[in-house]
Amino acid sequence: MYNVSRRDFLQNSLAATAAGWSLLPGSLKAEEHTQSGLQKLRLATFCFDVTPPQGHSLCGGWIKPVIAVDDPLEAIGFVLSGAGKPIVVCAVDWTGLLNDAHVQWRIAFAEAAGTTPDRVAVQCVHQHNAPFACLDAEKIILAEGDLPHIVELDYYQKCLERGKAAVAKAMDKARPVTHIASGQAKVEKVASNRRVSRNADGSVKAMRGSSCRNEQLRALPEGLIDPWLKTIAFYDGQSKIASCHYYATHPMSYYGDGRVSSDFAGLARKQRQVEEPDCMHLYFTGCAGNIAAGKYNDGSKEMRPVLTERIYQGIVKSEQNLKPVPIENVSWRTVDALPPANKKLSAEKLQATISNKKNSVVGRNRPSYMLAWLQRLQQKTPIVLSALRINNTAMLHLPAECFIEYQLRAQKAAPSRFVATAAYGDGGPWYIPTEEEYPNGGYEVSVAFSDPQVDPILTDAMATLLE
């Protein structure tokens, strides 16, 4: 097994870090394995429970805590062995994993799989009746003594231990993986752009969120989205053993009632899983920073099963014409990136806001995430972006709440590849708008932790991973 401490991880990251705040020079790590070296390629799937306990904070502590569980939350992934050191990819039914919390998950999986943290991708689905884990923010709010937890450390640690055990157990039951297939289908009446209501100068006038009851906003066009639900499936001969599904939208029908749920995206995946128990189904949320179901969702409880069915149909249709082909080459690429902080953020002002007991919980807990990001930048701990490329497919792993434009750019950057994008990896930067959208304001820009230069940094990183 490969054991790595957090100190080792940070030292390795810093060793790859050159001066400046950008896509870090020399940080590209890439290796490719062709057919002759893939005779022993194997895939192990795992799944473990990450449902929060009664009373635990949801979505960072500023909505109602857990009072009941409508359906459990899960972390689901796979370990691919036989192409260099093992590669681990995981999707988690949490709002987010940020900064050191994300780093620790990658270290834990790496230890369990016998690999290195840079070969681990952990992406969140981003449901809101779920934990929003940032260990650094938890330390900040604990010092205040009167704020609800960001994430309870004993529960967080139990999840890590379950994950390590699940990965280790899965490795013993790995199956040969010989073929891969890809497919896609349009999803009808789910995704819509949140930033379609504009003033004459292009600035955002009003936002259409995850749900919307304003009929004028709902009547506006869908706006820019990616309508395709994409699937990449792995096979042992003709037996499908894992199927990864990707779609870009905030995955909430309604939330804030304290009832834990994987919501419509998770419920659709679970429905497909019941139908195909011998194939592990994973769901990844794409670049949905400015994408939600607001045009088609009024927030009523009746809409959750409707949206679930629409995602489920997209999954089924994306798999209808899968044509497995032999795996001929596998490559894993990573780049380190360190985007500069939003110039509006001040550590002193954020701390004062957090300590001001007259402010609301959200007005104090949310700034703790901002302060945690500034502290991370001081430590120069980069974000690791990655791509698993097999034949002409690419599974791209991006951080935080990227705007849909990044997903569309990734596809254009590799027109000969079937690119499936999973965002909501390391959530440290929070929202990641495009450079041209910063002057237009709106909610997403107001809570973006990075400077507009995050755009060329992220765009260059994607091109590096996919070229």
Neighbour count for residue 205 (Cβ, 10 Å): 14
Residue 1 lies in a domain: no
Instruction: Please count the other Cβ atoms lying within 10 Å of the Cβ belonging to residue 440.
Output: 18
Counting DSSP H helices and E strands in the chain, the numbers are 12, 25
Could you tell me which residues come within 8 angstroms of residue 295 by beta carbon, excluding any fewer than 6 positions away?
189, 192, 208, 212, 217, 218, 220, 222
Domain span at residue 389 reads: 6-466
Predicted pLDDT of residue 36: 64
Q: Are 421 and 442 in contact (CB under 8 A)?
A: no
In 3D, which of 464, 467, 451 has the Cα closest to residue 385?
A: 464
Does the pLDDT of residue 20 top 50, yes or no? Answer: no
pLDDT at 14 over 60: no
Determine, yes or no, domain membership for 420.
Answer: yes
Q: Is 378 helix (H, G, I), strand (E, B) or coil?
A: helix
- Split at pLDDT 50, 70, 90, the class of 22 is low
Q: What is the mean pLDDT of residues 320-341?
A: 95
Per the CB < 8 A criterion, the answer to whether 65 and 77 are in contact is: no
What pLDDT is recorded for position 318?
A: 98
Residue 451 domain-assigned (yes or no): yes
The tokens of 139 are what?
A: 């330390």
Structural tokens at position 282: 């994973």
Q: pLDDT tens digits for 140-164?
A: 999 999 999 999 999 999 999 999 9
* Mean pLDDT, range 76-95, rounded to an integer: 97
Does residue 448 form part of some domain? yes
Q: Give the separation between CA 354 and CA 364, rounded to whole angstroms.
A: 4
Return d(Cα 359, Cα 353) in angstroms, integer: 7
- Phi first, then psi: give them for residue 148, nearest 5 degrees: -70, 155
Rounded Cα gap, residues 279 and 236, in angstroms: 11
With respect to residue 88, please indicate whether it lies within any of the assigned structural domains.
yes
What is the structure's pLDDT at 32? 77
- In whole numbers, what is the pLDDT of the chain averaged over residues? 93
At 430, give phi and psi (nearest 5°): 65, -125
- Read off the amino acid at residue 310: R
| Nearest residue to 423 via CA among 274, 283, 222 | 283
pTM: 0.94
Q: What is the pLDDT of residue 157?
A: 98
Residue 236 pLDDT > 70: yes
11 assigned to some structural domain? yes
Q: Indicate the angle between helix axes 347-355 and 361-379, nearest 10 degrees.
A: 150
In the prediction, which pLDDT does 183 show?
A: 98
Nearest to 448 by CA among 386, 385, 373: 373
The CA-atom distances, in angstroms, between 341 and each of 362, 373, 451, 455 are 21, 8, 5, 12
Residue 206 bridge partners (DSSP): 197
420 and 232 in contact (C-beta within 8 Å)? yes
Continuous segment of H or E residues that includes residue 370: helix 361-379
Residue 190 half-sphere exposure toward CB, CA atoms < 13 A: 29
- Stated as kind and residue range, the H or E segment containing 226 is none
Q: What is the β-pairing status of strands 29-34 and 175-176?
A: unpaired
Sign for the CA dihedral angle at 56, 59, 62, 63 comes to: negative
Q: For the CA atoms of the chain, what is the radius of gyration?
A: 21
Tell me the C-alpha distance between 411 and 139, whole Å: 39
DSSP assignment of 406-450 equals HHHHHHHH-TTSEEEEE--SB-TTBEE--GGGGGG--HHHHTB-B
**Average pLDDT in the 7-25 region?**
44
Phi, psi (deg, nearest 5) at residue 25:
-55, 135
Q: For 419-446, how does the pLDDT look when each residue is reduced to its tens digit (9 = 90+)?
A: 999 999 999 999 999 999 999 999 999 9
Show the tokens assigned to 76.
């689901």
pLDDT, one tens digit per residue, over 165-183 is 999 999 999 999 999 999 9
Residue 19 has pLDDT above 80, yes or no: no
Closest by Cα among 362, 356, 426, 435 to 403: 435
pLDDT, mean of residues 335-350:
95
DSSP conformation letters of 62-90: TS---SEESS--EEEEEEEESSSS-EEEE
Could you give the maximum distance between any two Cα atoms of the chain, in Å? Answer: 65
pLDDT tens, residue by residue, 372-416: 999 999 999 999 999 999 999 999 999 999 999 999 999 999 999
Confidence band for 39, pLDDT divided at 50, 70 and 90: low
- Residue-level pLDDT at 23: 58
The domain total for the chain is 1
| 244 touches 282 (CB < 8 A) | yes
* Predicted confidence band of residue 4 (pLDDT cuts 50, 70, 90): very low
Confidence check: pLDDT of 121 > 60: yes
β-strand 329-337 against 383-390: which pairing, if any? Answer: antiparallel
Structure tokens that stand for 9 in this block: 């991880």
